């Protein structure tokens, strides 16, 4: 069955706890509903194909070789549903910048999986889809915590601890985030490996830093639930400082974070894998334009806005 609307999935941003979440500390992430990946199927006569800008791949169901993340996504869906590949071309398009900490890989795979389910007239519930997309995430990130696929598949704010049941996050008072893009693509896999290296070389120094991030995340959850935005902003700043100590910031990220704070943001920090990619700033609506202008002045190549709650 060819659906009339494209299937889709949102981008995500991590508010607190990236990197430490890999070491089983809690983290908080929210979907960005306005920034999405889409997948749309059209009939063809030559088996299952996946296309995107600069990409046209046939899906070979008889291989165990990990070739392309999108081919793997399709194979996992077919295997889960015990289905044969349909004669369709699924075209992917995405507004989410790649390699920038916004979950582009997980969003594209999730949209593709949903479009394929639609074509087959079958459903995979979010719990199973999340497990499936996590398998694909391993291609992108090596040893992912699972937070990206979880927030993207469920499309709701999450308080996430690796391998624990998902906890929903209540939002006491809606708030506005600006997402500032440094324009530098960055490999999450490399940043995670960098922190691993640091940890293995000096666990006595690094473990307390990870514990301190975990403590910040617990306080942040309470601040979000109580609508205490001033406290939330301060916690963002402390989280950023610890991420910098973990070597995952960059001069550009530090510049954008400082510019946002100077222009009146309640707090700012890098978001996601770091070493490039994006930062976030918590702003009161009346200062939004001012902070946005300061971020552009300080070198942001793109600004996205999202309302949380
Ligand atoms: C990437 O969006 C978040 C990291 O914590 C990696 C992960 O959780 O898998 C850096």
Q: 231-249 pLDDT, tens per residue?
A: 999 999 999 999 999 999 9
Report the alpha-carbon angle 281-282-286, nearest 5.
Answer: 115
pLDDT in the model for residue 1: 65
- pLDDT higher than 70, residue 23: yes
- pLDDT higher than 70, residue 47: yes
Cα of 22 from ligand 1 centre, angstroms = 7
Of all protein residues, the one whose alpha carbon is nearest to atom 10 of ligand 1 is 273
pLDDT band at 283; cut points 50, 70, 90: very high
pLDDT in the model for residue 54: 81
pLDDT band at 292; cut points 50, 70, 90: very high
pLDDT in the model for residue 68: 87
Q: With beta carbons less than 8 A apart as the criterion, state whether 190 and 275 touch.
A: yes
Among the atoms of ligand 1, which is closest to the Cα of residue 12? Answer: 2
Task: Name all residues whose Cβ lies below 6 A of ligand 1.
Answer: 14, 18-19, 21-22, 101, 141, 144-145, 147-148, 188, 192, 272-273
Tell me the best of 16, 102, 107, 145 to mutate to test the pocket of ligand 1, counting ligand atoms within 8 Å of each CB and taking the most: 145
Cβ contacts of 276 within 8 Å, gap of 6 or more: 99, 100, 182, 184, 185, 186, 250, 252, 253
3-state secondary structure 136-191: HHHHHHCCCCCHHHHHHHHCCCEEECCCCCCEECCCCCCEEEEEEECCCCCCHHHH
- pLDDT higher than 80, residue 98: yes
| Residues 189-216, mean pLDDT to the nearest whole number | 97
pLDDT band at 60; cut points 50, 70, 90: confident
Cβ contacts of 49 within 8 Å, gap of 6 or more: 56, 57, 58, 59, 88, 89, 90
| Residues 86-106, mean pLDDT to the nearest whole number | 93
pLDDT band at 64; cut points 50, 70, 90: low
Cα of 79 from ligand 1 centre, angstroms = 27
Q: With beta carbons less than 8 A apart as the criterion, state whether 101 and 271 touch.
A: yes
Tell me the best of 22, 150, 186 to mutate to test the pocket of ligand 1, counting ligand atoms within 8 Å of each CB and taking the most: 22
- pLDDT higher than 90, residue 95: yes
3-state secondary structure 203-245: HHHHHHHHHHHHHHHHHHHHHHHHCCHHHHHHHHHHHHHHHHH
pLDDT band at 207; cut points 50, 70, 90: very high
Q: pLDDT by residue (tens digit) across 109-137?
A: 999 999 999 999 999 999 999 999 999 99
pLDDT band at 139; cut points 50, 70, 90: confident
- pLDDT higher than 90, residue 159: yes
Cα of 128 from ligand 1 centre, angstroms = 21
pLDDT band at 140; cut points 50, 70, 90: confident
pLDDT band at 66; cut points 50, 70, 90: low
Residues with active-site annotation: 148
- pLDDT higher than 70, residue 19: yes
Q: pLDDT by residue (tens digit) across 160-175?
A: 999 999 998 999 999 9
Cα of 155 from ligand 1 centre, angstroms = 17
């Amino acid at each position: 069955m060819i659906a009339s609307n494209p299937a889709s999935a949102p981008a995500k941003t991590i508010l607190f706890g990236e990197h430490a979440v890999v070491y089983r500390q809690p983290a908080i992430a929210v979907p960005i509903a306005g920034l999405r990946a889409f997948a749309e199927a059209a009939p063809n006569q030559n088996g299952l194909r996946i296309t995107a800008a600069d990409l046209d791949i046939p899906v070979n169901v008889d291989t165990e070789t990990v070739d392309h993340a999108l081919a793997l996504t399709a194979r996992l869906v077919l295997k889960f549903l015990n289905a044969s590949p349909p004669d369709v071309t699924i075209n992917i398009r995405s507004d989410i910048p790649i390699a920038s900490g916004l979950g582009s890989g997980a969003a594209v795979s999730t949209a593709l999986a949903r479009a394929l389910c639609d074509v087959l007239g079958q459903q995979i519930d979010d719990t199973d889809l999340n497990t499936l997309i996590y398998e694909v995430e391993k291609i992108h990130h090596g040893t992912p915590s699972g937070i990206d696929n979880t927030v993207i598949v469920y499309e709701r704010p999450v308080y996430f601890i690796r391998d624990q049941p998902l906890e929903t996050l209540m939002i006491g008072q809606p708030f506005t985030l600006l997402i500032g893009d440094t324009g530098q693509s960055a490999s999450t896999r490399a940043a995670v490996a960098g922190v691993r290296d640091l940890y293995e070389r000096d666990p006595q120094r690094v473990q307390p830093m990870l514990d301190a991030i975990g403590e910040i995340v617990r306080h942040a959850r309470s601040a979000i639930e109580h609508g205490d935005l001033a406290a939330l902003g301060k916690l963002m700043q402390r989280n950023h400082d610890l991420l910098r100590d973990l070597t995952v910031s960059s001069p550009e990220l530090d510049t954008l974070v400082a510019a946002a704070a100077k222009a009146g943001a309640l707090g700012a920090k890098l978001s996601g894998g770091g070493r490039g990619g994006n930062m976030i700033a918590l702003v009161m609506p009346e200062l939004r334009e001012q902070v946005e202008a300061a971020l552009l002045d300080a070198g942001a190549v793109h600004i996205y806005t999202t309302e949380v709650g």
